[in-house]
A and B are shown apart, each in its own frame.
Chain A
């Protein structure tokens, strides 16, 4: 922590720009050398967190990638709160990646940059408030010096320093020159108490809302650079295939095609730099590149995965569960407890591979020259983009500039920078500044998929209905497949999270893992394995309740018990308080009138989960017709994310995550046959549509304490089980395999 704090202090150096604005950010020596580097779209880009103009206008730098989660609004809200300015006077400027070479590697220039694991806000919560408070303190000190009073006798109102002793007040804009000359003290000034917040916790519009409805917002694909060319890649239809040879005669005849060449992927089984080898087509327009690709004839070597299929994968999973796997958690005495149980319930659940499919396909601008590389990318991890470009070009990272655009959806896909590596390869080889464009079928067939797995849960219940023994056994393709430096015995860690419910709520508890494989690349998909585990556990709880004559809500409440802080070593720790889940469950049950008798064909399902520091619960009301057609009639969702800094975005994330959960539950599955991904676009990899989502949809934020937790992912894990539990309540049909697809229709017909 000490080291991080020191680097924060180094970041926060104040000064003045040539135009006379007070700036706070990168070391002052940079200020004199012009307003820093040129930026995306030809705009000047300045690595400052705060810039206050003579007119009192405030520009706040956003150092994080905006993927739709609202971080470009939420983080500046923290700065503006502590700086004490009117929000209406604030505008936002995107900062590029900032890294500085040190004796033993690289360190951050503008604080850590990257959004994943629901940490965009929480990891900047202290830092951004300190930036604002420090800037405000400089202004106070400048005013005090001018009025010849102690700084302690001054305070602020939005945009002004007030001095009670003299009765005077000075606008921030009149203090900037004085403030710029003051050294920043080592000590961080005191931060506001929650009761004094005027901006944090209030409902604010997204800062870019107007640009978003007028077409002005710029995404990666909207990048325009001088002499920029366009590139696409012909990709192997088979996982890990590669070009044996290609005939580009026809492709080169397409008007606008400039160059065609092979790019080299990693050897199958090695860690990914890019996904696989392919043939790049460079052209003067996107359409010419796409047509060039259509005209290209490639003889593909199908490679080692040509025999892979989903059918085989699922059969292997079934067979594995008949044996004994790697026992990774073993609390109490599971076998003895199971032996003395009155009732034993055992079920299997299947969770498919799924794909990310952000609406903006992968793309990246790269310009590689002998000495430098410029990357403009929609990425969740700009530092990973810098490393990818360095690995491809061999250039030192300080010679690689990474600019971040607005990102047309992340969902974990853009934690991987394979498309940045591809773009730099193409620019390096062609010598041209290029924009690499993935088409939708590229994106569906070449993803880092959420792993699929077959889960078995077996539980023992005593005569009073108490759960005395529980085991979850999982055969899956681990997300950590082909990751560097992961031992085989640790592959399970990406799929089973021992600190999650219901371990420690059931005394005799065992987790068992079987690693299966298939050639599909794997990666982090919003709330990674929580989506699978919550579906399985929250479905099984329902089944257990019905099998033992208990109410599903009451069984959950009994298991969770009293509010208390449990140690939690996974993401979102260090503690997990089941009482916060209890509160949410009771709340949603009341809102949806859980105990009200429903007409036949209607039912309520509930589910709750904790992850990434946040808590969420869903209740759904579903109607099922005799032919198996079903409809979600009503949704009640609730989140506890501690202090909701930007409640408008918290609500939006809860709404969106719910829709995301419905999308995946209804129809999304990636399958493989003969080593080839069978899906290619939204017709066979469907997203939920507006008609799938009821108008009666409540999204509630239940406040807790004064510190924010993660928001982006917790909204999704309870969704699928709430839906399938509701389907069971309405129809008596239990869905144990996702996606739901036509299973209900088939069951009702049969």
Chain B
């Protein structure tokens, strides 16, 4: 049995140890906000955070997660439903079309802005090009990333979390 934490809750999994985190989240925990798309870590639709860093959950076997902490899109907003700066920016720019890749885009951006709080377009190109969008929402994603950085800085200046 493998025990780890998902969105602040302790979970235990006693199925096949090679089961990718993606399917543990989706089929067993019914956290379906994390999406299946390529299954080979090529598209980023299934990105979650493992110990605070972006990871493609289709390539993370559950056996590697013992004692670790996972955050999914469902766990990103604050406990009172306060949206994360990235989610706020995504809403402002109404980024999504079909929306299927957007959980991965948002989770990837949260990690990216943590590493590049004031990103340039070149930083975005270099770091966000691994997350694919078939609808082609990249124009708005770029704007939303810059906006999220602004919101995060403003929130930081006001001393809030």
Q: Which residues of A contact B (CB under 8 A)?
A: 67-70, 205-206, 208-210, 212-219, 221-222, 224, 230, 255-256, 285-288, 291, 357-361, 406-411, 437, 439-440, 648, 652-653, 655-660, 662-663, 681-683, 687-691, 693, 695, 697, 699
Contact of B129 among A256, A291, A689 (CB under 8 A): A689
- The 6 closest A-B CB pairs, nearest first, are A215-B33, A659-B136, A68-B98, A408-B100, A691-B125, A215-B73
With A68-B99, A256-B16 known, 4 other A-B pairs at CB within 8 A are: A209-B94, A224-B32, A288-B16, A359-B101
Contact of B132 among A411, A653, A689 (CB under 8 A): A689
* A525, B102: Cα distance in complex, Å: 23
* B residues 94-150 touching A (CB-CB < 8 Å): 94-103, 106, 121, 124-126, 128-142
Q: Which chain A residues lie closer than 8 Å to B126 at the CB level?
A: 691
Q: Please judge, given known A-B contacts A214-B77, A359-B35, A648-B94, whether A697 and B100 are in contact too, CB under 8 Å.
A: no
Complex: chain B residue closest to A208, CB-CB:
B99
B-side binding surface: helix, strand, loop or mixed? loop
Residue B154 at the A interface, CB < 8 A?
no
Give the residue among A215, A222, A291, A408 with the most B Cβ atoms within 10 A: A215
Complex: chain B residue closest to A69, CB-CB:
B97
Show 27 residue pairs from A and B whose CB-CB distance is below 8 angstroms, ordered by the A residue. A68-B135, A206-B96, A213-B83, A213-B87, A214-B33, A217-B99, A219-B35, A230-B27, A285-B23, A287-B15, A287-B16, A359-B37, A359-B101, A360-B98, A408-B100, A437-B36, A440-B37, A655-B139, A657-B136, A658-B136, A681-B39, A683-B42, A687-B43, A690-B133, A690-B142, A691-B124, A699-B139
CB distance from A356 to the nearest CB of B (A): 9
Give the residue among B33, B38, B43, B45 with the most A Cβ atoms within 10 A: B38
Cβ contact within 8 Å between B135 and A656: yes
Residue B57 at the A interface, CB < 8 A?
no
* A219, B103: Cα distance in complex, Å: 13
CB distance from B32 to the nearest CB of A (A): 4
Contact of B30 among A210, A224, A652 (CB under 8 A): A224
Cβ contact within 8 Å between B134 and A357: yes
Cβ contact within 8 Å between B90 and A221: no
Complex: chain A residue closest to B33, CB-CB:
A215
Cβ contact within 8 Å between B98 and A690: no
Interface size classification for chain B: 35 or more
* A682, B131: Cα distance in complex, Å: 11
Q: Which residues of B contact A (CB under 8 A)?
A: 15-16, 19-20, 23, 26-28, 30-40, 42-43, 45, 72-74, 76-77, 83, 87, 90-91, 94-103, 106, 121, 124-126, 128-142
Cβ contact within 8 Å between B45 and A359: yes
Complex: chain A residue closest to B141, CB-CB:
A690
CB distance from B51 to the nearest CB of A (A): 20
Give the residue among A208, A210, A358, A652 with the most B Cβ atoms within 10 A: A652
* A437, B58: Cα distance in complex, Å: 15
Cβ contact within 8 Å between A656 and B97: yes
Cβ contact within 8 Å between A219 and B132: no
Q: Which chain B residues lie closer than 8 Å to A440 at the CB level?
A: 37-40
